[in-house]
């Protein structure tokens, strides 16, 4: 879908690939140049100087080509990022199973730097925070999972963890 959009309107595919400002800029340049070129050729050829029409066509074509190149490059970056993230998740899972919480935390923190919207990553961070006894971090991570989990894979785990949290202040010592 993003590829088709990028082919039709240069830059729109970049917006879908989380490069919003770059995609918007490319789309605006392409659209403005396209409008000037159409006006110079079809709508008002006497009002638009021929050099401006040619310049608009050239800049529009260059912006379209640049947008396709940037879209391709962004795709390659995403593939490498997904591969690196899956390796970090596997490393964190292995460390958790071995009981090495520090190594798991390091791998998950590195994963957040790669993709801070990965549901599996945040679910694993929530579980790690629970193992470390960090109630606030665990709740924050499960809330993040609830926001990000569009397919509902972790909804039950998140809701159960948030319901079973201990109530602060319920065991106040009056001595």
Asked if 105 contacts 44 with a C-beta cutoff of 8 angstroms, the reply is no
Quote the pLDDT of residue 158: 86
Quote the pLDDT of residue 18: 80
Quote the pLDDT of residue 49: 93
Quote the pLDDT of residue 93: 92
Quote the pLDDT of residue 172: 38
Ranges of the chain with pLDDT below 70: 165-175
Work out the number of other CB atoms within 10 angstroms of the CB of residue 66.
15
* Chain segment 89-126, per-residue pLDDT in tens: 999 999 999 989 999 999 999 999 988 888 999 999 99
Q: Can you give the pTM of this predicted structure? A: 0.64
Work out the number of other CB atoms within 10 angstroms of the CB of residue 17.
18
Exposed, middle or buried by CB within 10 Å (0-12, 13-18, 19+), for 67? buried
Residue among 139, 117, 112, 110 nearest 126 (CA): 139
Q: What is the spatial distance between Cα 143 and Cα 163, in angstroms, rounded to a whole number?
A: 12
Quote the pLDDT of residue 52: 94
Domain assignments of the chain as residue spans, ordered by start: 2-116
Whole-number Cα distances in Å, 25 to 18, 45, 91, 122: 13, 27, 38, 32
């Amino acid at each position: 879908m993003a590829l088709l959009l990028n082919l039709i309107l240069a830059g729109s595919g970049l917006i879908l690939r989380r490069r919003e400002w770059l995609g918007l800029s490319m789309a605006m340049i392409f659209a403005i140049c396209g409008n000037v070129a159409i006006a110079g050729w079809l709508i008002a050829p006497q009002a638009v100087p021929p050099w401006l029409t040619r310049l608009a066509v050239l800049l529009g074509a260059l912006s379209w080509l640049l947008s396709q190149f940037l879209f391709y490059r962004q795709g390659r970056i995403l593939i490498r990022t997904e591969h690196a993230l899956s390796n970090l998740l596997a490393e964190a899972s292995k460390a958790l199973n071995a009981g090495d919480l520090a190594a798991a935390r390091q791998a998950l923190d590195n994963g957040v730097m790669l993709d801070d919207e990965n549901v599996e990553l945040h679910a694993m961070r929530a579980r790690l925070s629970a193992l470390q006894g960090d109630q606030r971090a665990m709740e924050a991570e499960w809330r993040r999972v609830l926001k990000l989990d569009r397919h509902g894979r972790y909804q039950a785990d998140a809701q159960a963890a948030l319901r079973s949290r201990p109530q602060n202040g319920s065991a106040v010592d009056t001595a």
